Structure 1
């Protein structure tokens, strides 16, 4: 696999006007800032249409239970329709916008990222569940939607309680909610996560390192060294769990970031290329075309034509 070329980016990225990037928002919660929280549950019953512009919240994972109503979710420029009852699972760093087309009764569960990591570590299937954003349909049974609705009401009550053991109670209810969603997603049938628990944890660590260094053009050996494992172990774990080689996983993260910048930012293709660690825009264009099937400029034009013209951040 061709290694990306390093590049000095300090001077080429500079611009006379500020460059627009994907909004990274800190979610509003009802508790005072000084009060520590790790799970927040909100119930939203806005009437009519409601839209949020594409944004990300890297400090939180989010579950949105749409009890009724429907809409479209924008995931990195791709439109994904949904209709209640369903659950929208939004991992940290997931760039998303929401357009509720009709009156929607929805519950929003926001989970602090460090606590989410602790919960995920208890069952390796949870890591796979949060691996990608997803829509989990619950329309096949009225009982399922009712059960999750009741579970969310209990979770909200426990999370807002100051009774003895409320943290343990919140934790238990959140784990039950995730377990129910895991089972409803028929996750075992998707084949997204395989391998031993140890391999799953290795790949999770590798993904985290990719998020931190994907633009630094590090060789695979550097990732393996940071994880204190061999290249053979890294490749075996990625093949077992993600069914991809590690270089492909890094390239996929680069493409995701490139798409976000092309759709939501105002940087030129050249600026995006240098910002992602490419030596020149022509090499970046060839790489993008090979992975996506379109040149960056073509992808930007097509994706922006599909975006709503009036949208405001959450």
Structure 2
């Protein structure tokens, strides 16, 4: 795998936000998952995905034929099939695929990933950085990943009983395979985390697990910055360049994710949920949630009154009948 630096200047224009690429932005359902082939969407855009970001959606791609380049925060990385590519949520990214490239694009909400990871005894399975790994043709790792993506696509389209559990199990296997791949190659590629990755991305990769651990403690931005050994201004600048969001908004997004999950999947009262999230005043929790969600915690819970069982994997109107990918 080769890495090349693209131009580092940032456009004065806002970074585009999409639902799936080319579609208007929307807030993903907590258990949103979508999978399609690379050609199904890329043929529509001349095999090029211009730099953009998604709110709360992560990607995993398995490239089975062809190749191209991944761009993340101004850095380009080339890849050739077979290859695995991971792009965490909020990171500004783009692709240029060789015409005729084939493979799968898996898109998952942060809520879905959080649910899968909650069942994992291992930590740090979810990739913190956008990465592209060339796999050995005919290798065991390539075959294992091909089985994972094929099973996810089959389950996604079939709508069988136990669909959510089956897809979650395959995503867990995918995350384990990714973590093993990263661990195996740390020894082969000295300083791998610094190759093809910008300083801003490396800083964000250190911040994310810290937010996951401390979001309910309501640390100020200055405390996160001090723990990372940088100034608050440096941290905010990095977050804005990579994600388009400030450090505080990233922390608040994590709080909101946990609040939504608690309201849907538990029967805890509003005060209990607020206390668990670090809000000493239930009224302040309600105001915090309502301002960002557009409705009160109680209204949100009523809208998901089946305990989350209705949170479809096909959320937001996509592939409700298990048909082809949205065009």
Distance 1:179 1:22 in 2: 32
| 2:37 maps to which of 43, 54, 69 | 43
Q: Which residue of 1 aligns with 2:13?
A: 20
For residue 123 of structure 1, report the CA deviation from its aligned partner: 3.7
Contact kept? 2:82, 2:136, Cα under 8 Å: yes
Kindly state the Cα deviation for residue 80 of structure 1 after the two structures are TM-superposed: 1.3
Scaled by the length of structure 2, the TM-score of the pair is 0.53
Q: 2:98 aligns with which of 94, 97, 101?
A: 101
Number of aligned positions between the proteins:
211
Match of 2:162 in 1: 165
1:168–1:206 CA distance, 2 compared to 1 (3 A) = closer
State the alpha-carbon separation in 2 of the partners of residues 124 and 253 from structure 1.
30
Long gaps (5+) in structure 2: 1-11, 194-206, 245-326
Root-mean-square deviation over aligned CA pairs: 4.1
Structure with the bigger RCO (C-alpha within 8 Å, sep 6+) is 1
Q: Deviation digits for residues 5-39 of structure 1, max 9, x if unmatched?
A: xxxxxxxxxxxxxx72111111269xxx9998522
Q: Identify the residue that residue 219 of structure 1 maps to in structure 2.
A: 222
Q: Secondary structure at the match of 1:248?
A: coil
Give the drift of 1:62.
Answer: 0.6
1:111 equivalent to 2:108? Answer yes
SS in 1 for 2:230: helix
Alpha-carbon offset, residue 259 of structure 1: 4.3
TM-score, structure 1 as length reference? 0.55
Match of 2:228 in 1: 246
Task: Show CA shifts across 1:258-307 (max 9, x none).
Answer: 6469xx9xxxxxxxxxxxxxxxxxxxxxxxxxxxxxxxxxxxxxxxxxxx
CA separation of 1:125 and 1:134: change in aligned 2, threshold 3 A = farther
Equivalent residues in 2 for 1:5-154, closer than 5 Å = 20-27=13-20, 38-45=32-39, 50-123=47-120, 127=124, 129-139=126-136, 141-154=138-151
Contact preservation (8 Å) 1:42, 1:107: yes
How many angstroms does 1:163 deviate by? Answer: 2.0
- Is 1:256 matched up with 2:238? yes
Match of 1:103, SS? coil
